[in-house]
Amino acid sequence: MARDVYCLTLRQPIRNHLGLAEQLGRAGLSVPANIVEGYCFPFPRLPTRVGARVPR
């Protein structure tokens, strides 16, 4: 996904809007980073709104 977002930011119309290209690049990297961070720090069982339990 990060590679696809990076390739998207190289397209000419998006490159003209530097703020948008930089923001897309950061967003493309933050999604996999957040997944890894969540995987490395497992939480204890958290009660959900309906009372079910999240498996470990």
Q: Identify whether 22 is part of a domain.
A: yes
Q: What angle do CA 31, 5, 13 make, to 5 degrees?
A: 140
The 10s digit of each residue's pLDDT in 8-53 is 767 767 666 667 777 877 888 788 888 787 777 666 666 666 655 5
Q: Identify whether 19 is part of a domain.
A: yes
Q: Which of 9, 32, 31 is nearest to 19 (CA)?
A: 9
The total number of structural domains in the chain stands at 1
Dihedrals φ, ψ of 21, to 5°? -65, -45
Structural domain span for residue 13: 2-38
Dihedrals φ, ψ of 52, to 5°? -75, 170
Q: What's the pTM?
A: 0.42
Q: What is the pLDDT of residue 42?
A: 66
Q: Identify whether 51 is part of a domain.
A: no
Q: Identify whether 21 is part of a domain.
A: yes
Spatial separation of the C-alpha atoms in residues 35 and 33, rounded to whole Å: 5
Q: What is the pLDDT of residue 32?
A: 80
Q: What is the pLDDT of residue 20?
A: 76
Which residue would you say has higher pLDDT here, 20 or 56?
Answer: 20
